Amino acid sequence: QVQLVESGGGLVQAGGSLRLSCAASGRTFRTRVMGWFRQAPGKEHEFVAAKSWSGSTTYYADSVKGLFTISRDSAKNTIYPQMNSLKPEDTAVYYCAATQTLMVGNDYPRLGNYKDWGQGTQVTVSS
């Protein structure tokens, strides 16, 4: 099993920034991709970004491209989404997810491809 723990959420004013983290533990050697999804109240999960375990491939949703970046610390088995220029519509619970499946670009946003999920961290952006 892979355990995922998110942190870094909180309150921020519009235009501000947050850096989230997702720390993986357990059988991480099986992990191929780690991704981020978000869920606003009353809405379905929305893909945000993903990064291959090797760090060679990064995929961003069009809605966050150029605003969010995701980096990796292999020594800590942790990925870090850096979220800049936050807007109230970015308010959501952000979830880290992982999969053992090798994927190409158009596979990254697919919710069903991810099998392990964290508990989520709340991001609230005030106007």
Q: Per-residue confidence of the chain (127 residues) as pLDDT tens digits?
A: 899 999 999 999 999 999 999 999 998 878 889 999 999 999 999 999 999 888 789 999 999 999 999 999 988 889 999 999 999 999 999 999 999 988 888 899 999 999 999 999 999 999 9
Rounded distance, CA 127 to CA 119, Å? 26
The pLDDT of residue 38 is: 97
Residue 82 and residue 66 in contact, taking contact as beta carbons nearer than 8 Å: no
For residue 30, which amino acid is it? R
The pLDDT of residue 87 is: 96
Rounded distance, CA 92 to CA 63, Å? 14
> DSSP assignment, residue 31?
-
